[in-house]
């Protein structure tokens, strides 16, 4: 019998798919969203923010993971849970806080409030209050990018409740027919406004709705920015090749109620804790520490700086003025002397 040849394998070094810079961006970016939203919730309780207010706490990986997968010049549009996306894109947090307080220094000049952020410079085409109303608009933006041959795309985000709207299906059909460069994203946090997916639809795997239109579709564990980046990057490559749209179901979770007026009694504390145990910020923090890219003290320093920056945002907003009443007649029509605008 021939002797068995003994082989040795060199121990492969663990290599992360993403760089230190990417993980540090995710950590700081998601932490900014978290601390900003926590402060917004406090200010709402103090009645310094009025009207509706929908917090993004728990869903930060959806926006941060998407940002690193897309390019400058790509367009974004979403529903009314819309503070996280502009923060992820680099919109001035002071302008976002001022908008929440309806001040003239706000990103929408104090006219939009929580649900209607808008930042043309960063390609953010706003939060939209009509459920599902942004979905055909997202397809329209993508049509413009294709028509103008820009090589850019539109990422169109919506909640799980929006897929019940007819406009969702119409937009998917047209986008696939015309091969529009659009990424449709369902941020499925499980409860729409307050009723679980299981109680509202026979179709519980929401990504399969895209298959009705032969649209490439996939579920994504969106409690992790790595998964989000990979899925969005693949969809973006497809769109830029001219192969058309993708439907992604981001499986995520909001730690707070649907809005600030929602006590969220329709879910258990155990379920909430299960998702908090998978917190995307803590996941990235662990990756950074495991790879020795930063120390615990350095990460705490980042957290403190972000908290201080958010306090500066509050100070800026509180010291800003409310819009002059005459502003109600401005920015309504492009034509400034439009006949329906009266003195």
Residue 343 confidence (pLDDT):
56
Q: Both tokens of residue 198?
A: 């299981």
225 vs 28: CA distance, rounded Å: 13
Predicted model pTM: 0.92
Distances (CA, A) of 143 to 99, 118, 242: 30, 20, 12
Distances (CA, A) of 222 to 24, 199, 235, 253: 18, 22, 15, 9
Residue 13 confidence (pLDDT):
47
34 vs 137: CA distance, rounded Å: 28
Angle at 132 between CA 187 and CA 236, to 5 degrees: 50
Beta-ladder partners of 208? none
Residue 54 confidence (pLDDT):
96
Distances (CA, A) of 280 to 64, 138, 173, 236, 320: 10, 27, 33, 23, 34
Residue 5 confidence (pLDDT):
40
Residue 201 confidence (pLDDT):
85
Q: Which residues contact 170 (CB under 8 A, 6 or more apart)?
A: 136
332 vs 43: CA distance, rounded Å: 29
Distances (CA, A) of 259 to 51, 57, 193, 287: 10, 11, 8, 32
Which of 112, 90, 92 minimizes the C-alpha distance to 101? 112
Query: pLDDT by residue for the chain (343 residues), tens digit each?
Result: 444 444 333 334 456 789 999 999 999 999 999 999 999 999 999 999 999 999 999 999 999 999 999 999 999 999 999 999 999 999 999 999 999 999 999 999 999 999 999 999 999 999 999 999 999 999 999 999 999 999 999 999 999 999 999 999 999 999 999 999 999 999 999 999 999 988 988 899 999 999 999 999 999 999 999 999 999 999 999 999 999 999 999 999 999 999 999 999 999 999 999 999 999 999 999 999 999 999 999 999 999 999 999 999 999 999 999 999 989 888 888 887 777 765 5
111 vs 88: CA distance, rounded Å: 22
Which of 82, 28, 75 minimizes the C-alpha distance to 55? 82
Angle at 176 between CA 197 and CA 204, to 5 degrees: 15
3 vs 336: CA distance, rounded Å: 91
Residue 3 confidence (pLDDT):
42
| Angle between helix 296-319 and 280-290 (nearest 10) | 140
Q: Which residues contact 180 (CB under 8 A, 6 or more apart)?
A: 139, 142, 143, 146, 174, 239, 244, 245
């Amino acid at each position: 019998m021939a002797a068995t040849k003994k082989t040795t394998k060199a121990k492969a070094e663990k290599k992360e798919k993403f760089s230190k810079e990417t993980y540090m961006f995710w950590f700081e970016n998601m932490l900014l969203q978290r601390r900003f939203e926590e402060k917004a919730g406090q200010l709402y309780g103090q009645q310094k923010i009025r009207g509706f207010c929908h917090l993004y706490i728990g869903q930060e990986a959806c926006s941060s993971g998407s940002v690193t997968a897309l390019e400058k010049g790509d367009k974004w549009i979403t529903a009314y849970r819309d503070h996280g996306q502009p923060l992820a894109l680099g919109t001035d947090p002071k302008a976002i806080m001022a908008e929440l307080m309806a001040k003239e220094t706000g990103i929408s000049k104090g006219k939009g409030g929580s649900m209607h952020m808008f930042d043309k410079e960063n390609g953010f085409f706003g939060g939209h209050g009509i459920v599902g109303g942004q979905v055909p608009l997202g397809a329209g933006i993508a049509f413009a990018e294709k028509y103008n041959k820009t090589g850019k795309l539109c990422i169109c985000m919506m909640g799980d409740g929006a897929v019940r709207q007819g406009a969702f299906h119409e937009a998917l059909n047209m986008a696939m027919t015309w091969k529009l460069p659009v990424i449709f994203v369902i941020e499925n946090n499980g409860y729409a406004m307050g009723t679980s997916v299981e109680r509202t639809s026979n179709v519980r795997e929401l990504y399969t709705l895209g298959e009705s239109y032969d649209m490439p579709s996939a579920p994504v564990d969106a409690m992790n920015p790595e998964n989000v980046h990979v899925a969005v990057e693949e969809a973006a490559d497809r769109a830029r090749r001219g192969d058309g749209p993708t439907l992604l179901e981001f499986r995520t979770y909001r730690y707070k109620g649907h809005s600030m007026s929602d006590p969220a009694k329709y879910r258990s504390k155990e379920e909430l804790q299960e998702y908090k145990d998978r917190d995307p910020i803590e996941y990235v923090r662990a990756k950074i520490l495991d790879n020795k890219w930063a120390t615990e003290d350095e990460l705490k320093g980042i957290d403190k700086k972000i908290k201080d920056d958010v306090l500066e945002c509050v100070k800026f907003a509180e010291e800003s003025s409310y819009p002059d009443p005459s502003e109600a007649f401005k920015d309504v029509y492009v034509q400034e002397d439009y006949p329906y605008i009266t003195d």
